[in-house]
């Protein structure tokens, strides 16, 4: 389903660009693409996203969850490297 705002979720776009999206979905069909938050119930979820416009190309991206969780945060650090109009 495409979001109403028309922007692109950068993380799966990077995975697709690198040829890793399909294999990741096949290997863990019931899990999120990345873990960015764990609910009190223990359910791992992907809540944090970076959306980009069509003029921007996501080149690389990552979630850093384990290290920030040990530091006391309950949400992942999420970054995206973009290429776009200059």
pTM score over 0.75: yes
What is the rounded distance in angstroms from the CA atom of residue 14 to the CA atom of residue 31? 18
Number of domains comprising the chain: 1
To which residue do tokens 């490297």 refer?
A: 81
| Residues with pLDDT less than 70, the chain | 1-2
Domain containing 76 equals 8-83
Q: Per the domain annotation, does 3 fall within a domain?
A: no
Q: Per the domain annotation, does 2 fall within a domain?
A: no
Q: Per the domain annotation, does 78 fall within a domain?
A: yes
The pLDDT of residue 59 is: 97
The pLDDT of residue 15 is: 94
User: b/e map of 23-55 (b: 16 or more CB within 10 Å)?
Assistant: eeeeeeeeeebbbbbbeeeeeeebebbbebeee
Q: Per the domain annotation, does 1 fall within a domain?
A: no
Q: Per the domain annotation, does 37 fall within a domain?
A: yes
The pLDDT of residue 79 is: 95
């Amino acid at each position: 389903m495409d979001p109403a705002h028309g922007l692109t979720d950068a993380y799966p776009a990077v995975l697709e660009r690198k040829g890793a999206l399909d294999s990741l979905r096949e290997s863990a069909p019931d899990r999120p693409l990345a873990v960015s938050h764990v609910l009190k119930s223990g359910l791992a979820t992907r809540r944090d996203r970076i959306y980009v416009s069509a003029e921007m190309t996501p080149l690389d991206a990552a979630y850093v969850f384990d290290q920030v969780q040990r530091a006391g945060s309950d949400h992942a650090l999420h970054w995206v490297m973009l290429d776009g109009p200059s």
